Structure formats: C-alpha cells, structure tokens
Structure 1
Amino acid sequence: MSAESRLLELNLELPAAPVPVAVYKPIVIVGNLAYMSGHGPLRSDGTLITGQVGMDLTLAQGKEAARQVGLAMLATLKKQFGTLDAVKRVVKLLGMVNSAPDFYDHPKVINGCSELFADVWGKDKGVGARSAVGMGPLPGNIAVEIEGIFELDLPKVEVLE
C-alpha cells in the first residue's frame, strides 16, 4: 500500500508545512537522499506544543508532541514533493527532547514519531536508524525537535519547492 493511501486510511490531519524562521532550508537533496532540518511539534492551528517533558509534560504528552513533529515532517515532505510516495524509506532520525534533568525516557518520547512513520511507510521502510537525546532548552521552549534523513524513490521525485 502506498504512503498516500495509508495517510488517507489513517485519517491523519497534516498541519501546514512549517516556514523557516531563520536562515536554513527545510530540505536539502543530495543524490537520492533528502536531509530534513529540525521540525517542532506544530499543530494544525499553528500553535506549538511547549514545555519540558518530565516537568511540564508527562511522558505520554511528550510522545504525543513527537507524533505531532512527525506530522509536521510529513507536511514538509508532501509540500516538497507533492506526494509521500516520493520517499522510499526513512534512513535516520535524530530526536531531541526538551527534558527535565531527571527525565531519562527520551527514546520512549521519540517513539511517537517513529511509530507514526512505521504506520505510514510500514515497519520496514518507515523505521530507520535513530538517536533520541535530552536537551534543554529547545528553541521557543518546544517540547521536541526532530530532524531526519530520507531515501528518495527517484523515479517518483519531482521537487515542487
């Protein structure tokens, strides 16, 4: 099943693709790889999920924030290529959690994004290598920031942006 079909089947609502707020590109393509800049937990109403996981937010709320980051990343991919089917597989994610000093479940938080990508692209293509680390603070006090590397299905890639 295609990623676009899964998106519809899962009834996922993507936010508008975020607009850069500094000097960077959302995606840089090198060969058959797309390097995606860090994304935050952007909701469909334009607000961001903020706070420290383990202090202001629970583990479950942090995981939901990571899922929301994943939705924002999907929105950027869709805006860039017109279809999620341009992605052949997830290669690597770096998940950064705005966490309290005594919070240690960073991988469980970032699972929110990883599980979403597994649902969209399947467990083989949607799960790549990954790092999950605690940081503090993150820009704007966002709860989670994630960047990614994606392998592209070059016959299906048409850069729209």
Structure 2
Amino acid sequence: MTPEARVAELHLELPPAPEPVAVYKPLVVVERMAYVSGHGPLRPDKTLITGVVGRDLDLEQGKAAARQVGLAILATLRKHLGGLDRVKRVVKVLGMVNTAADFYDHPKVINGCSELFAEIWGPDNGVGARSAVGMGPLPGNIAVEIEAIFELND
C-alpha cells in the first residue's frame, strides 16, 4: 500500500503545511534526500499544542503532540514533493521536547511521531535513526519540535 493510501485508510487529517516564521525553507531536497526543518505541533485549525511536558502536559499528551508534529511534517512533504509517495524511507528524526527539569521520558514522547511514520511507511522504511532530547523553552512554548530527513524514490 502506498503512503498516500495509508493516510486515507487511517483517516488522518493533516494540518495545512506550515509557513516559515523566520529565515529558512521548510524543506530542502538535495539529490535523493529531503531535509525537513523543525516543525511544531500544528493542528488543522492552525493552533499549536503548547506547554511543558511533565508540568503542563503529561506523557500521553506529549506523545499526542509529537504525533501532531508528524502530521505537520507529512503536510509539508505532500505540499513540496507533490505527494507522500515520493518518499522511500525515513532516514533520521530529531525530536526536541519542551520538558520540566525532572522529566526523563523524551524517547516515549517522540514515539508519537515515530509510530505515525511506521504506520505510513511500514516498520522498515518508516523507522530510521533517531534522537530524542529535552530542552526548553521551545519557540512559542510549543510542546515538541521535530526535524527529519527522508530518502526519496528514484
């Protein structure tokens, strides 16, 4: 099943592809690699999920925010590549979690995005290398920011 077909089958609602809020490009393609800039948890109504995970948001809410970031990344890929079927595989994900000083489950939060990508591209092509770190504050007090690298089909 193609990535676009999986999105339809899962009834996923993608937000609008976010526009840059500073001096950067949302996506840059070099040869067969697509580099996606950091994205926040943008909802379809254009609002963002904000708050500090471990203080304002619990683990499950943080994980849901990371999944929402994944949906925003899918929207950017679709907009700039013409469709998700151009993506062959996930190469690398860097997840940054806006966390309280005593919160240590950053990898579990970023699983929200990683699990989404695995649903779209499968357990082999949808899971790449990954880092998950805590930091704060993030821009606009967003709960999660994620950047990713994808390999494109020929």
Task: State the TM-score bracket (shorter-chain normalisation).
Answer: over 0.9
Counterpart residue number, 2:35: 35
2:123 matches 1:123: yes
Moved beyond 2 Å, runs of 4+: none
Structure-1 separation of matches of 2:129 and 2:37? 17
User: In the TM superposition, what are the counterparts of 1:73-112 in structure 2 within 5 Å?
Assistant: 73-112=73-112
2:13 matches 1:19: no
Structure-1 separation of matches of 2:32 and 2:19? 24
Deviation readout 1:90-129 (Å, 9 max, x if unpaired): 0000000000000000000000000000001101000000
Counterpart residue number, 1:58: 58
- Gap regions ≥5 residues in structure 1: 155-161
Counterpart residue number, 1:48: 48
Structure-2 separation of matches of 1:2 and 1:45? 27
Q: Any idea what SS the aligned residue of 2:23 has? A: coil
Give the residue type in structure 2 aligned to 1:65.
A
Structure-2 separation of matches of 1:102 and 1:134? 10
Give the residue type in structure 1 aligned to 2:105.
D
TM-score by length of 1: 0.95
Structure-1 separation of matches of 2:81 and 2:25? 14
Give the residue type in structure 1 aligned to 2:36.
M
TM-score by length of 2: 0.99
Deviation readout 1:64-111 (Å, 9 max, x if unpaired): 000000000000000011110100000000000000000000000000
Q: Any idea what SS the aligned residue of 2:55 has? A: coil
The number of aligned residues is 154
Give the residue type in structure 2 aligned to 1:57.
L
Counterpart residue number, 1:133: 133
Give the residue type in structure 2 aligned to 1:146.
I
Percent identity over the alignment is 76
Structure-2 separation of matches of 1:106 and 1:69? 15
Q: Any idea what SS the aligned residue of 1:41 has? A: coil
Q: Alpha-carbon deviation of 1:30?
A: 1.0
- Gap regions ≥5 residues in structure 2: none
Deviation readout 1:34-72 (Å, 9 max, x if unpaired): 111000000000000000000000000000000000000
